[in-house]
Each structure stands twice: as structure tokens, then as C-alpha cells.
Amino acid sequence: MRRNTSVFTIRKYDFGSGHVRFYTFFLLTLKMTVFAEMIKLPSFKQLLFIVFSTIAAPAVALAGTENTPPRHHLILGSAEISLNGSYRLRAETQDAYNIKSYGTARTENFLLSRLRLDADVKIAENARLRFQVQDARIVGHTLTDDDFGDNNPFHDPLDINQAYFDWQPISSLGLTLGRQSISFRDRRVFGPGDWGNTGRYAWNAARLTLMHHGIESNWIIGRFILHDPGQWPNRRAAGPTAYACYTTINYWPVDLDLFYVLKKDDRRTQGETDIGDLASHSMGFWLNKSLGAWDIGATWAGQLGRRAADDIRAMGAVVSLGRTFQVSGKPYVQLQYVTGSGDEDPNDGVHNTFDGIFSGADTDLYGWMNLFFWKNLREYRINMSLHPTRAFNLRSEYHYFMLDAAQDSWYFPGQVQRQDKSGHSGRELGHEMDMIVQYKAGKSLDLRGGVCVFFPGDFVRNTGESPICRWYFLETIVTI
């Protein structure tokens, strides 16, 4: 294709129905403003408003269109620029818990919004720049910015979420430098955590990629950034630093990945009896194999190293077996077991608690309610899905959660929830049941909703308040 050499030329700028898409953003923006006043209403009316507005705005705005995804392609001098983005709204109700605590004795009704705008600038055949700005906001929650310190999972107004240089000087070598998202396979070693409103991980990193005959090896050094609403641009965390090699092997009969991750932190990590440096080495594999209608999968990670004066000896594993039934709706059933080791003796000088590496903690990994993490955990689960039509997906999950070590803690993502050091409270955490419905209304509009319930087990009942907690959500994603 002959390049247009004018200083600024629009090659393609196809909005589909431009005035309709503008009306979409007008409605969604207006809705956020109205919601700020709406939070004074009683809880039931709040929920009704959330449900109506989350469905109605994009549905009305896209009515009568073919939902063709917008394409924005520009020429600026010698550079080719591709523009796109998304706008996500999610209404949530959390009953008897929140992101920080279980057993809150209150109901939270709130609305999350996240706007992402992306620019991909091709500056040469083998080089490009990538930028992403993100605006994440929340209204209606009782938790404020002060409750989260310098890393906020809900609120981070307009900031730089990605900004990197990507260069491939030869076909077998690539280099990515700057702020970037890093994710592999099942998201348990490196996971961006995109379900969270601000995203769990974005990295200031250097990434060298080597490719040869079906093998891709990624060598990474970097630190994740902090989503601080009071800081612009967001800065990288003071630690830990990640040094990693993640290698994908695609030419064998089984899909196999091998990985090594060094997590190093000199900020004085708390050990069992003293404070010191952290040097944690995680190594393992991910594999997947399809056998006709059956599929099997596994992830295993062992951890060694030093945590202050303590030795690290920990392990995490995931094993799954699934089958797709060749009938109408293609029902799929999967059995899965997840374990992350715990520490039975907090005074023996050996740290046995698996730390989850840099795993995501969202959606289908450890339950949709985010009450658990890959840390002192045993999870037995059944996943089922059904596709009545190409656009419609039903998913249900049953989870049975236990502590791996009764003397160790129950861990939320990123924090301790409860602990009985004597181990006398038992290991049973409880049961979670999730029902998720997703409908792709068009190429530019996705709708998703869910109902999830947690029933506490013996450990929870024996260590404090133990209500049944519930979570409801309704989400729309508009691609722009």
C-alpha cells in the first residue's frame, strides 16, 4: 500500500454511526454525574437505578446500529497511528463484605467506571510505540482513597497505564521497554488482574523476547506500578523487583511453558522472628493437552530462597480435567483442584506459605467474589458453561475452600483476613457458588451479569462473625 506523505492525513476514520457513538458517551458520562446525587437514595432505589442505567445507556445509544467496531487509522508524517479504546461500567452490590474485610454487617452499592484509550504508533516496519491512558473512578462506596494508601484498586483518574517502545530488529528477537502489561497463559504466574477497576498489575519493565522454531522465551526485569490517585504520573513501587524468564514451547504434542521468577526486595521484609531482605525463587511449568472432547491442564510452582532469616520452602499447583459435550449448546464441564501451601509452624525458621508469585486474583481464578488467593489454600471446584447461541454464554461454578495449614492465615488478595495460630478453629473456609451470564450484543457492546453467594465453614464460624455474603454485578463494555 502506497504511503500518503502528507503531514496529517486521515486514511480511515469509520465510526459506524458517529452521532450514535457520541450519544453513547454523553449518556454514560451523564450517568456518572447523576449517580453522585443518587447515592442519597435508599439502598433498594440505588440498586434499581444502577441496573436500569447500566443496561439502558449503551442499549439506547446503540439501538438501530449494526454495532460495527470503530476503526481509527491515521497518518502523521511517516508514522501510522491506530486509535481505539473501551469504556466499562460495572455496578456492584456487596452484602456483608467488601474488598478489605469479611463480615462487615453492611451492604455496599457502588458503580465503577473505567475508560481506556489506546494509541499504537508504527514508526518503522519493525518498531512501534504503544500508549494507553486510563481513567478509573468509583461512586457510592463507603471506602475512600485514605483506606487504600498509595495503591488504589478503585480510583485512579486519568493516568498513563501503558507507554512502551517495541522493536523487532530481526524475526527471532524482540525488545519491549517501558510501562507495559505482562500476562501469560492462565494468568497465575503473571496476571494483569484486569477485572479490578485500576488493574492489579502494570509494569515498568524491560522485556527481551527470543523466538526460534516454535519456542518463545521472554526475559523480564521490572517493578509493578502503584495506582495512586494523588500522584501523576503513577510511579513504580519501591519493591519488589521481578527478574523472570517465561518460555513457551509450541511444537510438542502438549502445550508446555517453563518459568523462573526471582522476587527480590531489600525493604526489610518481616520474617518469623526478625526483619530482613527477601529473595524468593519460583520455578515451574504450565501444560495443557486436548484429547478429542477432553482437555487436561496443570500448573506447578516450587519456591525456594530466603525471607529475612528464614528459609523458603513452598509450593503451588493447579490440576484440571474438562470435557466438551458435542450436543446443542456445547456444554463444558471441568473439575479443578488448586493448592497453595501454608505454614504449619510459624516458629521453625522455615517459611512454607506460597506467595502466589504475581498472579492475577480476578474472575475465575479463585472465585469471583475475591475472598481468597493462591496462598495457604486448597480449592476443590466444578466449572460448567453453556453456549445456547454464539452470542450468549452461561457459566456456573462451585467452589469448596479450605486452609492448607490450620495454623496459617486466611488470605484475601494482598492481605491477611483471619488467623488462629493454635489451629484449633479447623481448616474449612466455606462454599462459594457463582452464576455468570454474558451476552455479546454486537461487535462493540458486551453485557455481563452475575450472582454469587458464599456460605462460611467451620474456620470462619470459629474465628468471628460468619454471615452468608452475597455479590451481584452488572457490567457493560463499549468498544470505541
Region 275-298 average pLDDT: 97
Sign of CA dihedral 264, 266, 269, 274: positive
pLDDT tens, position by position, 113-166: 999 999 999 999 999 999 999 999 999 999 999 999 999 999 999 999 999 999
CA distance 403 to 319: 18
339 touches 377 (CB < 8 A) = yes
Neighbours of 419 (CB within 10 A): 19
CA distance 303 to 352: 9
pLDDT tens, position by position, 324-344: 999 999 999 999 999 999 999
Exposure letters 431-460 (e unless 16+ CB within 10 A, then b): ebbbebebebebebbbbbbbebbbebbebb
Helix axes 43-62, 18-38, angle to 10 degrees: 170
pLDDT band at 414 (very low <50, low <70, confident <90, very high): confident
Residue 15 clears pLDDT 50, i.e. is over it: no
Cell of 465: 462473625
- DSSP H/E element including 415: strand 415-419
pLDDT tens, position by position, 173-208: 999 999 999 999 999 999 988 999 999 899 999 999
The predicted structure's pLDDT at residue 363: 81
pLDDT band at 35 (very low <50, low <70, confident <90, very high): very low
DSSP characters over 162-200 = EEEEEEEEETTEEEEEEEE----TTSSSB---TTSSS-S
Q: Phi and psi of 58, rounded to 5°?
A: -70, -30
pLDDT band at 71 (very low <50, low <70, confident <90, very high): low
Q: How far is CA 59 from CA 91, 284, 365, 442, 444, in A?
A: 16, 46, 30, 11, 11
Q: Please name the fold of domain 8-479.
A: Porin (2.40.160)
DSSP single-letter state for residue 348? S
pTM > 0.95 = no
Q: Which residues pair with 241 in a beta bridge?
A: 264
Q: Indicate the SS3 state at residue 61.
A: helix
Name 284's Cβ contacts closer than 8 Å, sequence gap at least 6: 189, 258, 259, 299, 300, 301, 302, 316
Region 443-457 average pLDDT: 96
**In this prediction, what percent of the chain has a pLDDT beyond 90?**
78
pLDDT band at 25 (very low <50, low <70, confident <90, very high): very low
The predicted structure's pLDDT at residue 362: 78
Considering only CA atoms, give the Rg of the chain. Answer: 23
CA distance 435 to 329: 17
